[in-house]
Amino acid sequence: MTSAPTTVPDLTDPLTHLPPDGLDEVWAHLRREDPVHWHPGGTDTPGFWVLTRHADVSAVLRDSTRFTSERGNVLATMLHGGDSGAGSMLAVTDGPHHTALRNLLLKAFSPRALEGVVRQVRRTSRRLVTEALERGGCDFAQDIASYVPLATICDLLAVPESDREYILTLTKSALASDYANLQEGEDRLARAELLMYFHDLVRHRRAHPGSDAISLMATEPAGSTLLDDDAVVLNCYSLIMGGDETSRLSMIGAVRTLAHDAQQWQALSYGTAPLKEATEEVLRWTTPTLHFGRAATEDVELHGRTIAKGDLVTLWLSAANRDERVFTDPHRFDLARTPNKHLSLGYGPHFCLGAYLGRVEITAMLDALRTFVGSIEQTGDEQRIYSNFLAGMSSLPVSLSPRPGPLPAWQE
């Protein structure tokens, strides 16, 4: 008996991505039957290719010669003429300048440079969790997860404490919304305000440099060239967005899942799931970044289809991270999963610059939860964000109860 054809919904519509696991059947169908799928365009937007298999997504992410990021790397910009930061912002720059810029920024993101930050992340995570325990409940998304990653990246950029709530509001509006009826242009307005904010900060750092990442970009060359103000601002924008969203949304998704999965909560709580493996599974399971985008620089044959030069290609991490060819029982949350070749932090030349820091933040939160918390109960409906790029929640009410007895052996 032949199964009925699966209809692929409009992947540009944020509502398509709203239900958790709502596209699992679609992704499975595409991986099996149509791994290089053509998605039609809209009235004033072009069509694009949809890749869903882990091997194909990995191959394109690795190949910055035949697939460039310089026409944008997310649907929001790709479908509307490209990204204004192309050639200047690390995420949408390829070739020698990408290498030079990445090498410059790695000075601020190396494990050695982040030693003090790592200690602060661990202290902050423990403080926030113990304060929530004292209150008996909290909105985990707003009271805990929203604070840790943003505070960390703001520390690296030396953003004044008084400005951080404003920055958080803008980052949440720039690529996603808490509301289905986002006003026309509101996301672009949020991005513009972030850029204007950092323009002022960059001018100040040029005159009064410190030891932060902005001062590094403003005073040290990328290769043989000193970055101009616009380039520094664009990379500040990229760092603040990337440094906040992935960790924050992963933490929230993990806590919601742990509140409903007693077996995996026990595995974390009793230490049978190592923190390293648990962190990787949280990243795979939540996949906060739904897709990356590229444009073909030449004709490419893939699975019998021709991706023509200039065509837009979307790489769906949310599909690749559930690929049955790579992950055993991919729809099961397994904190002890190994190996775990997820793509949540990218792959190849554009592998996430802040991957080490993001992992540190998630690990620190999991460690604080297993050390101090005895149980987690969701006490109200979560609020999911509306986006075709990010997946997760902006609100998650929970009740936390303290862990009974002495601290576990690894914390004594």
Q: Into how many domains does the chain fold?
A: 1
Task: Please say whether the beta carbons of 376 and 349 come within 8 A.
Answer: no
- Contact criterion met (CB below 8 Å) for 52 and 326: no
Q: CA dist 41 to 23, 44, 80, Å?
A: 20, 8, 11
Orientation angle between helical segments 229-260 and 355-372, nearest 10 degrees? 30
pLDDT of residue 3: 45
What's the CA gap between 279 and 33, in Å, rounded?
Answer: 32
- Helix pair angle (229-260, 148-157), 10° resolution: 160
Structure tokens at 94: 């390829």
Q: What is the pLDDT of residue 21?
A: 87
Specify if 138 maps to a domain: yes
For 153, the domain range is 26-411
CA 336 centroid distance within chain: 22
10-residue stretch averages of pLDDT, the chain, 412 residues long: 67 94 96 98 96 98 98 94 92 96 94 90 95 95 92 91 87 66 65 91 95 94 95 92 88 98 97 96 98 98 98 98 98 98 97 95 97 97 94 96 75 47
Residue 14 lies in a domain: no
Backbone angles phi, psi at 45, to 5 degrees: -130, 150
Report if residue 2 sits inside a domain. no
- Structural domain includes residue 311: yes
226: amino acid identity, one letter: L
Q: d(Cα 186, Cα 189) in Å, to the nearest integer? A: 5
Q: Reduce the secondary structure of 23-70 to three states and give it as a string.
A: CHHHHHHHHHHCCEEEECCCCCCCCEEEECCHHHHHHHHHCCCCEECC
User: What count of other Cβ atoms lies within 10 Å of the Cβ of residue 204?
Assistant: 15
**Sequence-ordered list of residues with C-beta below 8 angstroms from that of 140, at least 6 positions apart, any chain:** 132, 251, 252, 255, 396, 397, 398
CATH number, position 209 = 1.10.630.10
> SS3 helix, strand, coil % of the chain, rounded to 5?
50, 15, 35
Q: Is residue 321 part of a domain?
A: yes
Which residue from 295, 389, 388, 291 is spatially nearest to 344, judged by alpha carbons?
A: 291
pLDDT of amino acid 175: 59
32 within domain boundaries:
yes
Three-class SS of residue 252?
helix
Residue 6 forms part of a structural domain: no
Q: What DSSP assignment string belongs to 316-327? A: EHHHHTT-TTTS
